[in-house]
């Protein structure tokens, strides 16, 4: 895993266009991580999990704490059944 800034992307665009490892992009002034670039093979393996988390983040206002906890328990059971 490497950490780069936006200026590093300008110098070497392949960090983003052809990543070979997980790349964290940070704000150069504040030194805060802002983005993550994944190699496509890794993305394919975690794609469904990412989509589930994005859905939850987008709809967390609609989910109560109890509903979210129930979702997490169902999710772990369904993952175990798939394996």
Residue ranges of the domains in the chain?
2-37, 41-82
Contact 28, 9 (CB under 8 A): no
The DSSP result for the chain, as a single string, is -EEEEHHHHHH-THHHHS-SS-EEEE-TTT--EEEEE--HHHHHHHHHHHHHHHHHHHTTTTS-HHHHHHHHHHHHHHHHHH-
pLDDT at position 26 is: 92
pLDDT at position 40 is: 92
- The predicted model scores a pTM of 0.56
Low-confidence ranges of the chain (pLDDT < 70): 61, 63, 77-83
């Amino acid at each position: 895993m490497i950490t780069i800034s936006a200026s590093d992307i300008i110098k070497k665009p392949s960090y983003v266009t052809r990543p070979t490892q997980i790349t964290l992009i940070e704000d150069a002034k504040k030194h805060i991580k802002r983005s993550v670039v994944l190699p496509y093979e890794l993305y394919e393996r975690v794609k469904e999990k990412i989509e589930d988390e994005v859905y939850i983040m987008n709809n967390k206002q609609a989910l109560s704490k109890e509903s979210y906890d129930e979702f997490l328990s169902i999710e772990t059971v369904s993952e175990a059944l798939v394996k």
